[in-house]
Structure 1
Amino acid sequence: MRLSDAESELRDRAASFAEERIEPAAVEHERTGTHPTEIVKEAASQGLTTSMLPAEYGGGGLGVTGSLLVREELYAADPGIAEAITGSMFGCEIIAEDGADEQAERWVRPVTNGEMITGAAMTEPRGGSDFANIQTRAERDGDEYVLNGEKIFIGNGHIADAVLVFARTSDTDPPHRGISSFVVEAGTDGFHREELDNYVGPGAMALGELHLDDARVPVEARIGEEGDGFYQAMRTMNGSRLEIAASSVGAARGALDRTIDYISDRETFGKPVKDRQAVRHRIANYEARIEALRTFTYKTARDLEENVDLAEEPAMAKLLAAQLAEDVASDAIQLHGGYGLLEEYRVEEYLRWSKVAQIYDGTNEVMRSIIAESVLDE
């Protein structure tokens, strides 16, 4: 794919940052499970957290493709730290697109400057994929809304300075028309959050659980009009799924590169592992799959930026790339032998992250349903 000069420079900048700042810190953050706050701030200062956000609010203005280029490089280096970096602006795309200028200045610009971390709260304990039937409520009370409900598996949920919360403002038929979005700032009375521990994903990921107990926010915290929330979220889904696809391609590439380095120096029964035909064919298959999915993902991103009507393509990219990440990481562990199970060799983290990629922003099963509906129910 042909890149603009700005896109090429962004990719090179992301690759250098990954090598110089992420790689050396990866094992330590994985062992301690700490959020890489300083690395995230440095990434923001280099324009790596908000490359797709509008330039008028301090973003890079490079669209979905710019975001994909950054993600591939960062996730190849370390999925956990990459998730912390790329997730630091969750919700900002909607605020920038649908919010008023003063809202974007208040909540988006500080993120582009590395002064704030945001989150987006959609998933609830009773279900994630069935977003249209969320139960969290926001009742209008004069110049305020009163929010009640629970959210779970929220990226940056327990550390974000502000969270874009989706809540039901009316009971409608169909139900998706009654959802709105609100920015809830940390420290708001009735807004409680806690960290989710002991999940399978990388240690540097920050997942939180939110509890809203009569949490009051001003009307000015609502993004767009009442009832816009579902449409706001769905409009970003194609881009989000392509981002996960690019992240998965990056993770697959990272696991494969580490494996190639390992088998190039390793011998079994007096013969280099890399010279065994079964191993060579396995590596060749993965290299071909990575390149094919990279090409498809970036082509789809270009189509999205050019307002081509997309249906199943982003779902296909996410489904296949997330599965590829698991396949490569699983074989990477196998080809490392016992060392593949050790943190310092890093490949087991890629496998754990691949399961995250297969669940959020629509599970693999949901992706298959989208694809099937497009090709079978036209």
Structure 2
Amino acid sequence: MRLSDEQAFVQQEVRRFAKEEIEPVAVEYEQNGTYPIDIIEHAADIDLLAPGFDETHGGAGMDLVTELLINEELHRADPGIAESVTSATFGCESIVEHGTTEQIEKYVLPATRGEKVSGVAMTEPEAGSDFARIQTTAERDGDEYVLNGDKVFISNGSVADFLVVYARTSSPERAHEGITAFVVETETPGLETTPMEGHLGPATTDIAQVFLNDVRVSEDDRLGAEGRGFYHVMEFLDESRLGVAVAAVGAARGALEMLIDYVSERQVFGESVSEKQAVRHRVANLRARLAAARSLVYQTARECEDADEFDTERAAMAKLVATTLLEEVSSEAVQLHGGYGCFDEYRVETYFRFSKIPQIYEGTNEVMREVIGDSTFD
């Protein structure tokens, strides 16, 4: 893929940052389950937390392709730390798009400076892919709303300073029309979080349950108009799915590079494992498919930029193809490392554990197939 001089420069700078700041501590942080707040702060110093935001919103004003290049390089270095870095401003996109000037100044700017961590509270025990069926409520009480409900699988849930919380403000016949978004500080009375321990995936990420018990927020904390929350999420998901796809591409690159390095050095029966035709062909297939997946992601990004809108079907295709391939690449990396592949010191097992996660969040791959199927047959 041909890059502009500026894009190539950014790519090299992020690669340098990853090599110096992430790779040396990746094993230690993973073993200790360290949330990488120090790396997040360093990333903020070089505009990596919200590169696509305008400068007035604390970003660097980068185009979508450059933003994806940053995401790819971070996940290539370590998927767990990369997830924490790229999600440190999760939810701020909606505040920038639908929030007030006061909300942007209060929440978005500190988050892009690495001073605050954000998150999004959407998923519920009985409402995952079927987001329109959420049961958390926000009842009007004068100039306040009272929020009640439970959220699960919330990224940054127990480390965030504020969350964009989606709740039901009405129950119309069309369920998706009754959902509203609120910006809620996690120290608000009645809001409690509990880390969800023992989850599949990197230990450097934070996943939590969020409990809302008579949480009072001001009308000024509402994000956009009442009943528009569902539409905010749908707008956001197309772009975020491209982000998931490129994260999978980056992680697949990292795992494949480790695989190639290992089989090139490993000796079996007096010769390098990389001399075995079966191994060479397996690696060749993975490289070719990874190149194709990467092209799909970036071609989709360029077309979306040219059209100034996101193609829902292509974003779904990119996520489906890239995340499915990541599981295969990381599985082969573990397999060809032999017994060593099962130990975190060799790192490929972290990529393998991560590989299921992007197949589930931002819409499961089953939902992606439905999106593609609807576009094909309807």
TM-score normalized by structure 1? Answer: 0.98
Query: Which residue does 2:318 correspond to in 1?
Result: 317
Aligned-partner residue type, residue 164 of structure 1: V
Counterpart-to-counterpart distance in 1, 2:211 and 2:159: 14
Give the C-alpha shift of residue 83 in structure 1.
Answer: 0.5
Give the C-alpha shift of residue 100 in structure 1.
Answer: 1.0
Query: Which residue does 1:235 correspond to in 2?
Result: 235
Secondary structure of 1:198's partner?
Answer: coil
Does structure 1 residue 264 correspond to structure 2 residue 301?
Answer: no
TM superposition outliers: structure 1 runs of 4+ over 4 Å: none
Distance 1:183 1:128, change over 3 A: same
Verify the 8 A CA contact 1:311 1:374 in the aligned structure 2. no
Give the C-alpha shift of residue 65 in structure 1.
Answer: 2.1
Moved more, 346-355 or 60-69: 60-69
Query: Which residue does 1:22 correspond to in 2?
Result: 22
Verify the 8 A CA contact 2:137 2:147 in the aligned structure 1. yes
Query: Which residue does 1:140 correspond to in 2?
Result: 140
Q: 1:76-122: CA deviations, max 9, x gaps?
A: 11000000100100100000011111111111011111111000111
Counterpart-to-counterpart distance in 2, 1:120 and 1:309: 21
Q: Which blocks of at least 5 consecutive residues in structure 2 are unaligned? A: none
Verify the 8 A CA contact 2:76 2:253 in the aligned structure 1. yes
Alignment of structure 1 residues 216-295 onto 2, 5 Å: 216-295=216-295
Counterpart-to-counterpart distance in 1, 2:67 and 2:178: 31
- How many residues get paired? 377
Secondary structure of 1:157's partner?
Answer: coil
Q: 1:171-224: CA deviations, max 9, x gaps?
A: 112100111100000210111111110001101011111000000011111111
Give the C-alpha shift of residue 8 in structure 1.
Answer: 2.5
Moved more, 54-63 or 158-167: 54-63
Give the C-alpha shift of residue 309 in structure 1.
Answer: 5.8
Aligned-partner residue type, residue 99 of structure 2: G
Distance 1:309 1:34, change over 3 A: closer
Secondary structure of 1:227's partner?
Answer: coil
Alignment of structure 1 residues 1-378 onto 2, 5 Å: 1-306=1-306, 307-308=308-309, 310-377=311-378
Counterpart-to-counterpart distance in 2, 1:311 and 1:49: 25
Counterpart-to-counterpart distance in 1, 2:110 and 2:309: 32
Verify the 8 A CA contact 2:238 2:310 in the aligned structure 1. no
Secondary structure of 1:108's partner?
Answer: helix
TM-score normalized by structure 2? Answer: 0.98
Q: Which blocks of at least 5 consecutive residues in structure 1 are unaligned? A: none
Give the C-alpha shift of residue 10 in structure 1.
Answer: 2.1
Verify the 8 A CA contact 1:7 1:62 in the aligned structure 2. no
Verify the 8 A CA contact 2:51 2:62 in the aligned structure 1. yes
Counterpart-to-counterpart distance in 1, 2:9 and 2:115: 24
**RMSD of aligned alpha carbons:** 1.1
Moved more, 59-68 or 90-99: 59-68
Give the C-alpha shift of residue 127 in structure 1.
Answer: 2.6
Distance 1:309 1:67, change over 3 A: closer
Verify the 8 A CA contact 2:158 2:195 in the aligned structure 1. yes
Aligned-partner residue type, residue 195 of structure 1: P
Verify the 8 A CA contact 2:246 2:294 in the aligned structure 1. yes
Give the C-alpha shift of residue 126 in structure 1.
Answer: 1.0
Secondary structure of 1:34's partner?
Answer: coil
